[in-house]
Structure 1
Amino acid sequence: LRAVIRSAVSKGHEVVGILRGYQGLLEEAFFRQDDGAPLMRLRSVSNILHLGGTVLGTSRSELFRSAEGVRRAADVLRKHRIDALIPIGGDGTLRGAVELARHWDGRIVACPGTIDNDLLGTDYTIGFATAVNTAVEAVDKLRDTAESHERLFLVEVMGRHSGCIALWTALAGGAEVVAIPETKTDIPQIVEHLKELKARGKKSIMVVVAEGDELGGAVVLNEQLRRDGCPFDTRAVLLGHLQRGGAPTPDDRILATRLGDLAVRALADGAQGVMAGVIRGEPALTPLEQTYADHKAVPESFLDVLRTMAS
């Protein structure tokens, strides 16, 4: 948001901030200055780079999911003479932008803002690095207790359809096992592996579980491990919405700054219906429909490294 405002204002554009996402658009809820002007200016985004969340707020809109809601949103944009839109969000936000473009002739360039890192067209999404950092900090703290009590912890992280947070957390946190939607979770095989680790003198175990693992979350896996003879005393921990907050990491701050500026530059160059991203370190624009057209695979090489390290 900071990058969008500063880049746009520097190029002579006026910027309207829409509160609470598509629902706020339907309600004509705009960010307002102290003088009542519905504009965002340079000082509107001062000292927010280190803050999590969003000063504009967010929400889910059932009305916008309907054809009537999308048409009304397009009418609001025309009413206020808004000629370009930069939505920031995940696949739901981007799908909504595609539908909006069918009823509105303004231009749309989106930015990928989701901790799940599940959008194609960018190596990483805004918020992912911070979510992983939060999860790794939790794993590090739990490891202290696990080592002292010779215990196994199952740590559930977000990711209903994507195992990115879980896999990155497992690697960075030195976990012995990861359970993600992209791979089959074989409980008997895991138990045998745990028995081997205990025989080698391993005293603590960390299992990182994506909430969308096909067998269920950490609580379900905990019950199945106990049933199948897990050799360690076990506990399940659900990080939940803890992963969605906190000060952004430097990587996220830099990514958000780059993508916000890229989105404004793309609009100035006439781009329409694309998402701003970074691929192999370079700026990239990807048609919105392609960003969610397929599942974003986790790197097989990461899984191979984890198997090697978990010994």
Structure 2
Amino acid sequence: MKKIGVLTSGGDSPGMNAAVRAVVRKAIYHEMEVVGVYQGYQGLMEGEFKLLEIGDVGDIIQRGGTMLHSARSLEFKEDEAQLQAIERMRAAGMEGLVVIGGDGSYRGALALSEKGFPTVGVPGTIDNDIRGTDYTIGFDTALNTVIEAIDKIRDTATSHDRTFVIEVMGRDAGDIALWAGLAGGAETILVPEEATNIDEMVKRLQRGKERGKKHSIIIVAEGVMSANELKNILLDKGIDTRVSVLGHIQRGGSPTARDRVLASMMGAHAVEVLMNNVGGRAVGIRNQAVVDYDLKEVFETEHHLDQAMFKLSKELSI
């Protein structure tokens, strides 16, 4: 291939810019041209393209968000819109496409590949819910943001002898809640993949109180329930709580070194896949090695929570 495109789609995640940078510079190193597609799949349909040079991706590796911007497009789910996008890309001379994003972005990438346009997916989402890869770009940064918040809230909880409910992102996957809860020493962690046992949680809080513990931290993923809903349930059980909803603060910020390196490796590998005229692939990392695999695998299996880690979180929060 002599000319490829790159876009970011869906929710932004720290490290997307590092991935874009890697795609552009890896391609140029191998004497290929790269077209930046702005505003995700919406921009793909409307032809919002710009030929990117080395300098265009300078000074972005440390920035959160995405220089290509992002937009959600329900219209792109339709065959007609996908064919229009392919026509736009071919008219611009593009022969392949790198899509950086999450589950919804991957569905678009698969649709393009199945219609004959070689597309490769790079996992950019803080939720860490892309099947086939151990980690996604942005997950580590989001974790550190949440842990920093937990540490600060715990200071207040300790000072006022209170129980705090902290709501984190994770509509379908509880990785942020589990990892941050374990790292932050939370007494209770609620995730979408596991049934919520309110009575067990209340007993744990009461046991802690009986042995002299005067404050507790509860982490709840948004996919389980809202922090305010949980607060009202606990209030009915006689436990007064305070609520903190971290919200979109988890998506922003300068990416950690781990996310920058991960994004650089994955972005470069995506270019290598397209250099071999192969599409319909997803890039991931398994056992510390960068790999690529069939995009269909992402949708053929379910995301699974690390059960050993979840069990450990309960054992350490007695």
Question: Which TM-score band (shorter chain)?
Answer: over 0.9
Q: 1:11 aligns with which of 30, 35, 41?
A: 30
Instruction: Give the aligned residue type for 1:254.
Output: V
Unmatched segments (≥5 aa) in structure 1? 32-38
Q: 1:30 aligns with which of 34, 49, 64?
A: 49
Instruction: Give the aligned residue type for 1:277.
Output: G
Q: Which residue of 2 aligns with 1:137?
A: 148
Q: Which residue of 2 aligns with 1:219?
A: 228
Q: How many residues align?
A: 299
Q: Distance in 2 between matches of 1:67 and 1:273?
A: 17
Task: Give the CA deviation at 1:206.
Answer: 0.7
Q: Distance in 2 between matches of 1:302 and 1:218?
A: 23
Q: Which residue of 1 aligns with 2:70?
A: 58
Q: Distance in 2 between matches of 1:145 and 1:85?
A: 48
Instruction: Give the aligned residue type for 2:234.
Output: L
User: Within the alignment, does 1:300 sit opposite 2:307 as a pair?
Assistant: yes
* Superposition pairs of residues 135-174 of structure 1, within 5 angstroms: 135-174=146-185
Q: 2:93 aligns with which of 76, 81, 86?
A: 81
CA contact 1:4–1:260 (8 Å) conserved in 2: yes
Q: Which residue of 2 aligns with 1:207?
A: 218
Q: Which residue of 1 aligns with 2:285?
A: 278
Residues 49-82 of structure 1: CA deviation (Å, up to 9, x unaligned): 1100000000011221212111111111121121
Q: State the identity as a percent.
A: 43
Task: Give the CA deviation at 1:267.
Answer: 1.5
SS in structure 2 at match of 1:248: coil
SS in structure 2 at match of 1:308: helix
User: Within the alignment, does 1:252 sit opposite 2:259 as a pair?
Assistant: yes
Q: Distance in 1 between matches of 2:291 and 2:114?
A: 23
Q: 2:112 aligns with which of 94, 100, 113?
A: 100
> If each structure's strand is expressed as a fraction of its own residues, which one has the higher value?
2
Residues 185-224 of structure 1: CA deviation (Å, up to 9, x unaligned): 11111111100011111122111100001xx221111111
Q: Distance in 1 between matches of 2:86 and 2:277?
A: 20
Instruction: Give the aligned residue type for 1:263.
Output: A
Instruction: Give the aligned residue type for 2:137.
Output: I
Task: Give the CA deviation at 1:293.
Answer: 2.6
Q: Distance in 1 between matches of 2:210 and 2:31?
A: 67
Q: Which residue of 2 aligns with 1:184?
A: 195
TM-score (norm 2): 0.92
Relative to structure 1, is the Cα distance of residues 271 and 102 closer, same or farther in structure 2, using a 3 angstrom cutoff? closer
Q: Which moved more, 1:178-187 or 1:268-277?
A: 268-277
Q: Distance in 1 between matches of 2:94 and 2:57?
A: 20
Q: Distance in 1 between matches of 2:95 and 2:135?
A: 28
Task: Give the CA deviation at 1:259.
Answer: 0.2
CA contact 1:191–1:229 (8 Å) conserved in 2: no
Instruction: Give the aligned residue type for 1:173.
Output: G
Unmatched segments (≥5 aa) in structure 2? 1-19
SS in structure 1 at match of 2:200: helix
Task: Give the CA deviation at 1:269.
Answer: 2.6
